[in-house]
């Protein structure tokens, strides 16, 4: 089968790999019908972090179950499923408490499971899913979603769940004012999540017209293009002399965290979900002096999917609009270039 392999910074190739099969009784094999490139995939693509051996890449996919192990009884061949961005057991204390991203038996796509067996990346034609019942979410009543629905279902594997996590941990709710730092797919989904949770004033920080337009469609009431002190001053002006009740940090750099903190009012809350990649730090003294609450981290997508899925299937939210480019899997290298060069918000890949 074809699979996307990263060989090093800027070096993405689609290569032939063995088709996966069931190895253990708790496995399932999913035929991928759609996957995508994530903003966090760009960090290794840009050479951030240690360079390693060539490896499969991609952690967001949806598809149809082709085979299951003998112990898999809640999923059957033919089920359409969403795969969260990590594989989890569903039974350890962390999973039971809903923090599936801290599972005692956590496995990442494009790596090896705890038994040392290879697990495919999401940007390919098929994936063996260990711990299938603890990981996959079945989409009831859906077997062949159209392109629009497929795109929205795919966002639940990561970016919509992550934007929702930022909003939840920033205590977004009815009557709250919100600032979203970051206009990538996660930030835009954060805008949508804030609107869904009842925020009345949502400020999206963006300098790109296409992203500004989508932010407004998703519920942003205001756009701020300024950054640093000017950005803080503009937010204060828009909010009548105060800063935001809730701020969503959706980038992961030192600069974005600083912007987010300085946009939060004393007594407010900040939810951070940007993968730390530029040395972001939390100044404890600043939090202490301003009584700012900080939460966030990796989103437990498996936990959030059911409530978000209900709204997607009912047509109340359409997060799939963050996909502004669709490419065949064979053009994965170009998909990475398009996102790296900000010619695309998010690229959906079709096998």
Question: Do the Cβ atoms of 249 and 281 come closer than 8 Å?
Answer: no
Phi then psi for residue 214, to 5 deg, are -70, -35
Strands 61-68 and 244-249 come out as: unpaired
Whether pLDDT at 280 is above 70: no
Task: Determine the Cα–Cα distance for residues 78 and 64; give it in Å rounded to an integer.
Answer: 6
180, 182, 211: which is closest to 195 by C-alpha? 180
Cα dihedral sign, 195-82-330-277: positive
**Using 50, 70 and 90 to split pLDDT, how confident is the model at 276?**
confident
pTM of the model: 0.97
Average pLDDT, the chain: 96
CA 39 to chain centre: 8
pLDDT of 290: 97
DSSP H or E stretch at residue 179:
strand 177-181
| Model confidence pLDDT, tens digit, residues 224-242 | 999 999 999 999 999 999 9
Entry field: residues in the chain: 351
Whether pLDDT at 50 is above 80: no
Question: Do the Cβ atoms of 292 and 152 come closer than 8 Å?
Answer: no
pLDDT of 123: 98
Instruction: Quote the DSSP letter at residue 278.
Output: B
Q: What is the mean pLDDT of residues 69-90?
A: 98
> Cβ neighbours of residue 300 under 8 Å, at least 6 residues apart?
98, 99, 100, 101, 161, 165
Name which residue leads in pLDDT, 53 or 260.
260
Whether pLDDT at 25 is above 70: yes
Q: What is the mean pLDDT of residues 75-79?
A: 98
Whether pLDDT at 47 is above 80: yes
Q: Which residues are bridge partners to 5 per DSSP? A: 13, 56
Domains of the chain in start order, with CATH, are 2-158+300-350 (3.90.180.10), 159-296 (3.40.50.720)
pLDDT of 141: 95
Q: What is the mean pLDDT of residues 191-213?
A: 97
Whether pLDDT at 323 is above 80: yes
Q: What is the mean pLDDT of residues 289-306?
A: 98
Cα dihedral sign, 338-298-67-120: positive
* Distance from the first to the final alpha carbon of the chain: 10
Q: What is the mean pLDDT of residues 167-187?
A: 98
Q: Which of 310-345 are b and which e, b meaning 16 or more Cβ less than 10 Å from the residue's Cβ?
A: ebbbeeebbbbbbbbbebebebbbbbbbbbbeeebb
pLDDT of 265: 98
Whether pLDDT at 214 is above 90: yes
Q: What is the mean pLDDT of residues 67-93?
A: 98
In the numeric block, the tokens 């290569």 are attached to 15
Whether pLDDT at 179 is above 80: yes
| Model confidence pLDDT, tens digit, residues 102-127 | 999 999 999 999 999 999 999 999 99
pLDDT of 279: 66
pLDDT of 278: 66
């Amino acid at each position: 089968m074809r699979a996307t392999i990263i060989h090093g910074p800027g070096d993405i190739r689609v290569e032939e790999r063995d088709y996966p099969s069931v190895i253990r009784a708790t496995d399932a094999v999913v035929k991928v019908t759609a996957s995508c490139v994530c903003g966090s995939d760009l960090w290794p693509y840009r050479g951030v972090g240690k360079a390693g051996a060539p490896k499969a890449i991609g952690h967001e996919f949806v598809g149809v179950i082709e085979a299951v192990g003998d112990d898999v009884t809640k999923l059957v061949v033919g089920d359409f499923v969403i795969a969260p961005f990590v594989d989890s057991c569903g039974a350890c204390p962390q999973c039971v408490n809903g923090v599936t991203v801290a599972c005692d038996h956590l496995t990442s796509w494009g790596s090896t499971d705890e038994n040392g067996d290879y697990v495919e990346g999401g940007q390919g034609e098929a994936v063996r899913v260990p711990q299938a019942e603890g990981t996959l979410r079945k989409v009831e009543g859906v077997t062949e979603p159209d392109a629009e629905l497929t795109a929205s279902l795919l966002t639940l594997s990561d970016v919509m769940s992550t934007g929702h996590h930022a909003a939840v941990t920033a205590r977004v709710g009815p009557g709250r004012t919100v600032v979203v730092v970051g206009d990538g797919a996660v930030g835009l989904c954060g805008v949508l999540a804030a609107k869904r949770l009842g925020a009345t004033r949502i400020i999206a920080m963006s300098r790109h017209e296409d992203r500004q337009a989508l932010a407004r469609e998703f519920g942003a009431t205001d756009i701020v293009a300024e950054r640093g002190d000017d950005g803080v001053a503009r937010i204060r002006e828009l909010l009548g002399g105060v800063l935001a009740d809730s701020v969503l940090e959706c980038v992961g750099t030192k600069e974005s965290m600083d912007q987010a903190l300085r946009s939060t009012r004393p007594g407010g809350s900040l939810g951070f979900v940007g993968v730390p990649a530029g040395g972001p730090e939390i100044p404890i003294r600043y939090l202490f002096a301003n009584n700012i609450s900080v939460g966030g981290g990796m989103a437990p997508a498996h936990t959030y999917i059911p409530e978000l899925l209900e709204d997607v299937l009912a047509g109340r939210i359409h997060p799939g609009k963050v996909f502004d480019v669709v490419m065949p899997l064979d053009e994965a290298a170009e998909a990475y270039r398009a996102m790296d060069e900000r010619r695309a918000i998010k690229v959906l890949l079709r096998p």
